[in-house]
Amino acid sequence: MRMQTQPTASHFINGKYVEDTAGTPIEVIYPATGEVIATVHAATPAIIEQALEAAKTAQAGWAAMSGTERGRILRRAADIMRDRNHDLSILETFDTGKPYQETSVVDATSGADALEYFGGMAATLTGEHIQLGEDWVYTRREALGVCVGIGAWNYPTQIACWKGAPALACGNSVIFKPSETTPLCALKVAEILVEAGLPAGLYNVVQGLGEVGAALVTDPRVDKVSLTGSVPTGRKVYAAAAEGMKHVTMELGGKSPMIVFEDADIENAVSGAILGNFYSSGQVCSNGTRVFVHKDIKEAFLTRLSERLADAKIGDPMDPETSFGPMVSKQQMDIALGYIEKGRAEGARIVYGGEAIEGDGFYMQPCVFADVTDDMTIAREEIFGPVMAVLDFEDEADVMARANDTEFGLAAGVFTRDLTRAHRVVAGFEAGTCFINSYNDAPVEAPFGGVKASGVGRENSKAAIEHYSQVKSVYVRMGDVEAPF
Ligand code: NDP
C-alpha cells in the first residue's frame, strides 16, 4: 500500500500549509523498515508567532457563531474523515508503524467519532437561569480562548481530534503540536477541518520538539494547555502553565492494574490482557500492565495466554492480516528491551517472547513475565512497550492494596463473574478509567483520564466541555440599588 495523502508542508497555519526550511529538519521514519519517508522542519520563532497570531485573531469570530453553525462544520469534517478512512489509516500506519488492521478501525474512526460527538453537542452548550426573588442570575458558557494541544506519538490522529473537537465546539481556537516522532497525521486533520468549512486560523498545526511546545505553553496569548505525554513532561508543562494561571488537561502515563479473580472467564480475561498489553505493540497509556492473577488459575491463564500469543501475526503492518507491528522507533524498542533485561535480572520468569526480531524495522516479540513481585522495576515503572507482568494473589483486600500502591492512576480493570465483587473492586480502584470484564474500551461518550500522577481533567464525553469552556455569572437587579451611604 502506498502513501497517497502525504501532507505538502511542515505546518498548517491560518487555513493553509506553511513551510520554513530554516527550522531544524525532523526526519519521519517508517518503523516497519527504518526508511525516511518524509522530512518536516521544526517551527522557527516566526512560525510560532504566525500560529499564535492566527489563532488569537480568528477565535472571537468563531465564538460569536452559533453552536449549531460550529457543530455543522465539525460533523462535516467527521464525514470527510470517514470517507477517507483508508488513506488516513495508511498514513497513520506510516507515521506510527501500527498495523493497518488496527489503524483502519481505530484512528481516523475515533477521530471522526470525536468530531461528530462534539459537533452534535455544540448547539446544546448553554448557561443557566437562577431566580433570586425578583432579581436573577444567568450564566454564560464561554470559550477559554486559544488552546494549545501537545500530543504523544502513539495515536497522532486521535489525539489531534480528541483535543481539537471539544475545543472547537466550545468556540476556542487551537494550535496543535504533534510529537516529533509522528508529525504527519495532525496536518491531515487540519486540512480536513478547513475543507469542511472551518474558518482560517482556528486549527493550526506546528511541528517541533519539546522547546516548541514550551514556547507555546508560556505565551500570554494562550489560555489553555492540553498535554498527552509522560508524567515528567506533564510536571514541566503543568508548572509552566501555572505560571500564567492557564487551564490545563494532563493525559499522562500509567502502570495500570488488571485483576483476574479465580471465578473469571479465563478466555475473556486472556483477551482483555492481550488487548490491554499488546495492542499497538503495547504503546498505550492506559494498558493494564500489572496483571494480578489468582493463584488457583494462574497456570491455566498463562498456558492459554501463551497459546493465544503464538497466533499473533508479526510482520508488515500494511498486510491486513498482520496483528502485531513494529515499535514506533528504535529508541522505544531499546527502552522496552532494556526493561526486559531488568525483569530477567531481578528474577522474574519469562513465559513468552521478549527478544528483538532481526531484520529491518523496529520489531520485537510480545513478552510475558510471570512470578513478578511488586518491588520489581517492571512492576513499578511505565514501560510503554509489549511487556506484561503477571503477579500472583490470593486475597481481595491484599490485591486491592497492591493494585493501588503506585504513583499512577490512569486505568484499572477487573475480571470476575461475581457482580458484587466487581463493583466493590472498581469502587476501590484509585484510577480514573475502569473496566469490568473488559479492557481499554474508549468510546467518545465515556470520560477518559487519570487520577494521582496520571493526570488532571478528562477528555471525551460531556466532562470535556468543563475543560474547554468557562462560566460567566451575571447578576441582574430588577429594582433599585441599596447602598450604605
Ligand atoms: P513525552 O512526554 O516525551 O512527550 C509528549 C509531548 O510533549 C511531545 O509532543 C513532546 O515533544 C512534548 N514536550 C516534551 N517536553 C516538553 C516541554 N518541556 N514543554 C512542552 N512540550 C513538551 O511523551 P511521548 O511522546 O514519549 O509519549 C509517551 C507518553 O505519553 C507515555 O508516558 C504515555 O503513557 C503517555 N500517553 C498518555 C495518554 C493519555 O491519554 N493519558 C495517551 C497516550 C500516551 P517531542 O516529543 O516532540 O519532543
Which residue's CA is the closest to the ligand 1 atom numbered 43? 285
pLDDT in single tens digits along all 485 residues of the chain: 556 678 999 999 999 999 999 999 999 999 999 999 999 999 999 999 999 999 999 999 999 999 999 999 999 999 999 999 999 999 999 999 999 999 999 999 999 999 999 999 999 999 999 999 999 999 999 999 999 999 999 999 999 999 999 999 999 999 999 999 999 999 999 999 999 999 999 999 999 999 999 999 999 999 999 999 999 999 999 999 999 999 999 999 999 999 999 999 999 999 999 999 999 999 999 999 999 999 999 999 999 999 999 999 999 999 999 999 999 999 999 999 999 999 999 999 999 999 999 999 999 999 999 999 999 999 999 999 999 999 999 999 999 999 999 999 999 999 999 999 999 999 999 999 999 999 999 999 999 999 999 999 999 999 999 999 999 999 999 999 999 99
For CA atoms 361, 97, 285, 355, the dihedral sign is negative
Q: Is residue 434 annotated as a catalytic residue, yes or no?
A: no
Contact criterion met (CB below 8 Å) for 432 and 256: no
Q: What is the pLDDT of residue 6?
A: 80
Ligand 1 center to 456 CA (angstroms): 15
Bridge partner list, 28: 38
Q: Where in the chain is the domain with CATH 3.40.605.10?
A: 11-252+454-472
**How many angstroms separate the CA atoms of 146 and 218, rounded?**
12
For 481, counting Cβ atoms within 10 Å of its Cβ (0-12 exposed, 13-18 middle, 19+ buried), the class is: exposed
CA-nearest of 232, 9, 196, 35 to 119 is 196
Which residue's CA is the closest to the ligand 1 atom numbered 14? 210
- Angle of helix 185-195 relative to helix 67-83, nearest 10 degrees, comes to 120
Annotated catalytic residue: which of 56, 98, 163, 246? 163
Which residue's CA is the closest to the ligand 1 atom numbered 35? 229
Lay out the sheet containing 290-294: strands in order across: 349-353, 367-370, 387-393, 290-294, 257-260, 411-415, 433-436
**How many angstroms separate the CA atoms of 179 and 182, rounded?**
6
Q: Where in the chain is the domain with CATH 3.40.309.10?
A: 257-436
Q: Is residue 251 annotated as a catalytic residue, yes or no?
A: yes
Annotated catalytic residue: which of 92, 102, 191, 459? 459
Annotated catalytic residue: which of 251, 255, 298, 367? 251
CA-nearest of 25, 225, 24 to 144 is 225
- Angle of helix 266-278 relative to helix 298-310, nearest 10 degrees, comes to 60
Ligand 1 center to 180 CA (angstroms): 10
Which residue's CA is the closest to the ligand 1 atom numbered 32? 230
Q: Is 49 one of the annotated binding-site residues? A: no
Q: What is the pLDDT of residue 142?
A: 98
Bridge partner list, 228: 251
Here the cell at position 381 is 515503572
Q: What is the pLDDT of residue 221?
A: 98
Q: Is 162 one of the annotated binding-site residues? A: no
Q: Is residue 459 annotated as a catalytic residue, yes or no?
A: yes
Q: Is 95 one of the annotated binding-site residues? A: yes
The set of protein residues with a Cβ atom below 6 angstroms from ligand 1 is 150-154, 177, 179-180, 209-210, 213-214, 217, 227-230, 233, 236-237, 251-254, 285, 382, 384, 410, 450, 455
Bridge partner list, 258: 291, 413
Contact criterion met (CB below 8 Å) for 432 and 100: no
Ligand 1 center to 331 CA (angstroms): 14
CA-nearest of 408, 376, 400 to 389 is 376
What is the length of the chain?
485
CATH fold group of domain 257-436: Aldehyde Dehydrogenase; Chain A, domain 2 (3.40.309)
Ligand 1 center to 254 CA (angstroms): 13
Fill in the DSSP letter of residue 198.
Answer: P
Ligand 1 center to 152 CA (angstroms): 4
Compute the chain's Rg from CA coordinates. 23
**How many angstroms separate the CA atoms of 276 and 278, rounded?**
6
**How many angstroms separate the CA atoms of 360 and 312, rounded?**
19
CATH fold group of domain 11-252+454-472: Aldehyde Dehydrogenase; Chain A, domain 1 (3.40.605)
Q: Is 153 one of the annotated binding-site residues? A: yes
Contact criterion met (CB below 8 Å) for 195 and 187: no
Contacts of 202 (CB under 8 A, 6+ apart): 55, 58, 59, 62, 168, 173, 174, 193
Q: Is 236 one of the annotated binding-site residues? A: no
Any idea which residue has 516529533 for its cell? 180
Three-state secondary-structure class, residue 228: strand
Report which residue type is found at 418.
D
Any idea which residue has 505565551 for its cell? 219
**How many angstroms separate the CA atoms of 318 and 32, rounded?**
9
> Residue 186, CB half-sphere, CA atoms under 13 Å: how many?
36
